[in-house]
Each structure stands twice: as C-alpha cells, then as structure tokens.
Amino acid sequence: MSKSKKDITIYIITNVCRMTLAATFIFSGFVKANDPLGTVYKLEDYFAAWGIGHMPQTLTLAMALAQAIVEWGLGVYLLLGMRRRLITIVTLIFMAIMTLFTVYIAIYNPVSDCGCFGDAIILTNTQTLLKNILLLACAVVTFRYYKTILPIISRQASWIATTLAMVGIVIYAAYCIYTQPLIDFRPYKVGTDLRSMLDIPTDQRPQFEVTLIYQRNGETLEISIDDDDPDSTWTYVETRRKEIQKAAPGIAADFKILDADYNDITTYLLDNNEYVILLTAPILPYADQSTMGRINDLYDYAVANDIPFVALTASSQEARNRWIDYTGAEYNFYTSDERELKTVVRANPGLVVIHNGVITGKWSNWNMPDTDEITNIITKPTKQS
C-alpha cells in the first residue's frame, strides 16, 4: 500500500527533526568531551553566581563528563535510529529541562553565556533560549512520530556501534584532560601571537568585578582584589568573577601580567626576543603538588640557561607564601587573571613556552615536560619566513 502525501510529509519532517537533534547533541557532546575542564569552569561560574561555595573539582569534572556523555549518546542513538521510543522520550525530557533552565538564564543572566558549545560557538543567553525552543519542538515531533524513524544499521550491529561510540568518547575526553583539548577553540592555541592582544583598547576588552572570598569560624569575608589581604586567621576559599562589560565582537582575551606592585609588565615579557617559560597556577590552594619536583627542575634549567621563568597566579600573597614554603620553590609569583590562566592552559598548574611572544608549547600537570623536552623545543631550528 502506497504512502499518502501526509505520511511522506510526516516522515520527512520527523527525520529532519531527528537529524537536527542528532547533529546538535553530537556536536555539543563532542566539544564538551574535547574540553572537559572548560565545562568544569563554566559550572563553577554558575555555582559562584548562585552563591555556592567551592566544590571538589572531581565532582564538577564528573558532572562535566556525564553531560558530555549523555549528549553524545543521545546524538548517536538518534543518528542510528536505535531504541526509538526510549531515546525520543529521554530526548524530550532532557530538552524540556534544558529549555526551562535557559528561560531562567535568559531572564536573570547569572553568566554571560551558557557554555553549551564550549569555546567553539559562543551564544548569548537569549540565543541559547531560542536554540533550545527549536530543539524542544524537534523533540516533540520525534517523540510523537517515533515510529517513522528508520534505523540505519541492523539491530545486531547497533550494540557494537553504540559501544564503540560511547567508549570512544570517554577515551577521547580522558586524553584531552591528560594533555590539552585536541582541537583548540580558545584564543590561546599554540601558534598564537600574544602581542596581538596588547593593542586592544580598554573599552573593547571584557571587564570583570573580582571578589576574593575568605572564611573564619563560620564567618565569610568578601573583599575586592584591590583590597589588602586579611590577616592569617582568615582562610582563602575562592575567587568569584562577575562580568560587568562584555568584550567587543571578536575580542576574547584579556591577558595581563602584573608585578608585586601591580605594574603591568606584559609588554616587557612578550616583547622578549628569546624564550620565556610561564608556569600557570590559577588557584594555588587547589594546585596539583605532585609535579613540583619537575617544575623546580625546569626553573633550575631556566636559570642556568638565562631563560625568563615567570610563575602566574590569581591567588593571594598568603597562598603564594604557603606554596613556596611547602614546595621549596625559588621563583616568585606574578599576578594574572584567574579565568585567563584557566583559558591559557586547562590545568592547575600548567606550563607554557613562548618565543617572540608566540605560544610554542603548552602542557598540563599530567604531562608536564622534563628539561630534555624543553631543550628540544628551544634548540629546534626556527623556520625563516
């Protein structure tokens, strides 16, 4: 029996909606798996906006990975047309929840962007709401007419394909945590000339209100980053950052290095025609200390070879002193913005090598280089233009 025009129309619309959902979920899940710590930092932005104190990064990382896996899995199942009824129900519930959430962020604007596509595509909260309304409509259609979704592989092969897809995304996410995002959508990718950011007018840069949170005997103290640190009876908890001015279109970074007197020395360091080694440790109280032996070796190597070694943090002087006392570090810390440091390297601590202001290498605390690897980079012949 031939299908009516109505049946054909429903079939086409349903499968267009299915593929739209599949493509969106697969892309969204992939970019989150590509940069799990970027999702962690976005979750921390939400927690800070809601007044939730510091949460263990293992917990927020688990939440970030779960979100990536769920979105990727839904996309794969929709693409393959497997478990049609169950997956369309889950998709409808998921999109209903996410749409309600984006109604909230569009109204109250707790963060500047939802982070649904990481750094790959930046959407405003209103754009995110409109996107989710469209996806919710697609989810309703696929749920209503799920029987018109045709599997593109056999049932016998489906478990192999889905298992490979799910195991693959977990391995990929683990690799990106161990090293750095394999596909770098950030403004600080290897090969970026940081000097190009120095000429951005102040009124085009993003501006933030930074608040330092301390606690003592159940009391909470909030101070500006320009205020003096409290006495040693107060314990540093976290740094909260609220965007008060959005960047101009195409401007994504605000990289600055300040000395002990808060003088901007960024230009001095980036205009150095030689190599510079940057150690980034956004929040020292939560930095991985297992790499300290290797970092101290790198510092000794830098001193022996007259290479500037610059340690950057957003933590208080008290936290810096504790770090130096505990690790035996002989280097001094300079001040840089916490979010920018987290964007430069997805690690705490991380390492960056710069030559003529250009990023030539980046490493996380998991794959921190040794002196031999740094030597190979520094002695590698530079291509002449």
**Helix, strand or coil, per DSSP, at residue 152:** coil
What confidence score (pLDDT) does residue 95 get? 96
Nearest Cα neighbor of 266 from 350, 343, 204, 194 is 194
Taking every pair of C-alpha atoms in the chain, what is the biggest distance, in angstroms?
84
Structure tokens at 358: 């250009």
Return all residues near 207 (Cβ < 8 A) that are at least 6 apart: 243, 244, 245
Instruction: Compute CA distances 276 → 192, 200, 339, 353, 371, whole Å.
Output: 14, 22, 21, 6, 14
CATH number for 194-204+249-379: choose from 3.20.80.10, 3.30.465.10, 3.40.30.10, 3.40.50.300: 3.40.30.10
Classify strands 358-363 and 350-355 as parallel, antiparallel or unpaired. antiparallel
- The sheet that has 275-280: what strands, in order across it? 333-335, 309-313, 275-280, 350-355, 358-363
Return all residues near 385 (Cβ < 8 A) that are at least 6 apart: none
Structure tokens at 344: 């430069």
- The sheet that has 207-216: what strands, in order across it? 219-224, 207-216, 235-245
Nearest Cα neighbor of 78 from 26, 4, 154 is 26
Residue 216 near residue 233, CB atoms below 8 Å: yes
Residue 210 near residue 239, CB atoms below 8 Å: yes
Structure tokens at 183: 């596909």
Nearest Cα neighbor of 266 from 204, 361, 335 is 335
Nearest Cα neighbor of 209 from 253, 256, 241 is 241
Residue 363 near residue 345, CB atoms below 8 Å: yes
Residue 236 near residue 192, CB atoms below 8 Å: no
What is the number of other CB atoms lying within 10 angstroms of the CB of residue 137?
14
Q: Per-residue pLDDT for the chain (385 aa), expressed as one digit of tens each? A: 457 888 889 999 999 999 999 999 999 999 999 999 999 999 988 888 888 877 888 899 999 999 999 999 999 999 998 888 999 999 999 999 999 999 999 998 888 788 889 888 888 889 999 999 999 999 999 999 999 988 888 777 888 888 999 999 999 999 999 989 999 988 888 988 888 776 665 555 556 677 778 888 888 888 876 777 788 788 877 666 665 555 544 444 567 888 877 788 888 888 777 899 999 999 998 898 888 889 999 999 999 999 999 999 998 888 899 999 888 889 989 999 888 899 999 999 999 999 988 999 999 999 999 898 898 888 764 443 3
Structure tokens at 268: 């001095």
Residue 15 CA to residue 209 CA, distance in Å, equals 46
Residue 235 CA to residue 120 CA, distance in Å, equals 37
Nearest Cα neighbor of 99 from 69, 131, 75 is 131
Domain boundaries, the chain: 5-178, 194-204+249-379
Chain-centroid distance, C-alpha 211: 21
What confidence score (pLDDT) does residue 247 get? 54
